[in-house]
Chains A and B, each alone.
Chain A
Amino acid sequence: MLSVGLMMLTLLMLFTLLTPLLVPIDPLGISAVDKLLPPSLDHLLGTDELGRDQLSRLVVGSGISLRIAVAATALTAIFGIGLGMVSGQYPAIDIVVSQISDSLLIFPGVVLAIMILAALGPSELNVIIAVFVLYVPRVIRTVRAAVIEYRDADFVQAARSLGASDLRVLVLHIFPRAIGPTMVQLSLGFSSAILVEAGLSFLGLGAPPPAPTWGGMISGAREYIRTAPWLMIAPGAIITYAVLSLNLIGDGLRDMLDPRSRAAGQ
């Protein structure tokens, strides 16, 4: 499962990076004559209502999507792991961090993201912030739980009695025990980031037009679903593909790292 997911993700990245080298890409070029053309050799995925090349828009959109997801996941990883370790180790800090991160978990995901973007205004950076705020509590909780689990373990006490500092104990002795579940959370967070980004741009809260986003493309295609269904199918398919590949990676990691579910799967 893990290898299939990784392969699919690699293909998506190659598609994003290599397509501009193979076909002319012009996501913004408007042409009234060429509007709503079905797929052809000139326009492999057809054109939209303004005559813009769908394939170009899809490729550029996938760049935006991946960029946002990577940035949000990186932020989530850095702050989630850092805050999780600190709050697992120091009860005084834990009270503050856990209260804030738990109260963020109360909101249904997308609603919180909409609130944040409504407050900050639609832009690529703000989508990154919204996705980060949405997923950082999960990573904090995962890392914190591992720290609490191993805080009083014998091998941690042994390291402390050798004179190891808190930082050394956290980073070298405890955190490696948490890498597995943290990676699972991050990969699932990555796929959700793509989904949330698509959802937000569908609602017009993502990167503002004319930037081509997957969600924005679906949103624009709604009116032409009967006359030009390819407008909806291509971005829909690629979102499904991206999320599927990342969920396969997440599930694969979980199976690999959790001996219980590995035994159950066999």
Chain B
Amino acid sequence: MVLGLAAVAIGFMALPFAGLLGRTPWGNLANLLADPFVAEALRLSVLTSLAAMAMSLLLGVPLAWVLARVPFPGRAVVRGIILLPMVLPPVVGGAALLFALGRRGLVGQWLDERFGILLPFSTWGVIVAVTFIAMPFLVITVEAGLRSADLRFEEAAATLGASRLTVLRRVTLPMAWPSIAAGAVLSWARGLGEFGASITFAGNLKGRTQTMPLAVFQALESDRDAAVAISLVMVAVSLAVLVALRERWFRVA
């Protein structure tokens, strides 16, 4: 019974990719992928998704720690806000970013006037949009990891003379490493496929803001074979990374 349902689940998840393989123009694949715009999009995707993962780690881990360990009024509301991008359509997230960080946005206006920083239509804009969408995945994963941790290890470290910062650096974070790694991979994977928020906030320009998903979308308008070929590259890259990292990061933990 359980095995049967699991098999159905596997089939359900794998079938669309089989469909993709079925539509792949194998004979013409090399030609399609040789198009410089594919390489350009792949480069941008790798760059922005990794940068967004780095941003998510930098900001998301401290946030997860605060949510897990520091009781403060309104914590549930804050957590809800942080997780909003997971449930909202990404396009809404992109529009919201535009209203906040766009040229006429709440903060964006000030950024532009004060520092001449314009996020929309720039690669940084893509990174901001992808971070906005992907970071919640890291935050909930790490927060869950920190919550399930045995606090007495931190007490043990304190009795050995470790300051709060040392405890965090040498005990809390290393022990939460599996959840941090899982969160980072999840957020990276989510970021790699990000489309709606990116195109809404940062637009679509080859070499600057056109990542793989945008390239697929645009190719779909004109050349479906090219779209399928690019999708195949995304699937291959993602699968390779997810499988490799899972082996490395989760087996030990």
User: Is chain B found bound to chain A in the same assembly?
Assistant: no
Which residues of A are at the interface with B, using a C-beta cutoff of 8 A? none
